[in-house]
Chain A
């Protein structure tokens, strides 16, 4: 069956370190993959999109990689700050319809 998985356990890291979040999928062939940030009680906010033919995309302190062989995307936040604490969602666009499938999200907590 089709599945998209993010680490359900919270990720706790120290301020200044690099946070790495994982998004794995099975039985999909996504045209692209997106990452969103969601704060408690708020709607998700779009961060980055990476296409199937791209290996890496960067935006300021954010970096996303996309490995279609491993069926995995990694989301990195360098020089992390307490303000980066939030839940991060990955979403992949499935097939010809570009229907978005969302993962459950990973809670990131950056300790000062």
Chain B
């Protein structure tokens, strides 16, 4: 059953804490992306990776970090430097930008 899996579905962050969101895909896609979705705003690109061991900053990378050690995995760390982390985080993968496959998202909230 091919797809893209995000976990956890809900995550809570304490003040000063780093948290990591998981994203795994078995679609054999080279490219992977992280987006942030806030109410009333379009999806905003945080980071993307077109190949293993390489990634680029998107429009709102400050306060976030990623790694791409395996083709299947693209975890996102929300660091304590991100002062407004509450949002719905979406991971996506693709063969080309012409069709993105999204995971079911992680809702991050601040305690």
Contact = CB atoms under 8 A, between A and B. Distances in A.
B83 to A, nearest CB: 23
B45 interface: yes
Contacts of B105: 41-43
Contact of A105 (B42, B44, B99, B107): B42
A36 B92 CA distance: 13
Give the top 4 A-B pairs by smallest Cβ distance, nearest first: A43-B102, A102-B42, A102-B43, A98-B97
Main secondary structure of the interface of A (DSSP, over half): strand
B77 interface: no
A45 B3 CA distance: 12
Contacts of A34: 98-99
Most buried by B among A32, A44, A91: A44
Interface string B19-45: 000000000000000010000111111
A43 B103 contact: yes
A100 B92 CA distance: 12
Interface of A: 4, 8, 32, 34, 36, 41-46, 49, 89, 91, 93, 98-105
Contacts of A8: 40
Contacts, number: 50
Contacts of B41: 104
A4 B43 CA distance: 12
A4 B42 contact: yes
A5 to B, nearest CB: 10
B51 interface: no
Contacts of A101: 42
B90 interface: yes
B2 to A, nearest CB: 14
B60 interface: no
A69 B39 CA distance: 30
B42 A46 contact: no
Interface string B88-111: 001010000111111111010000
Contacts of B43: 44, 89, 91, 102
Contacts of B92: 43
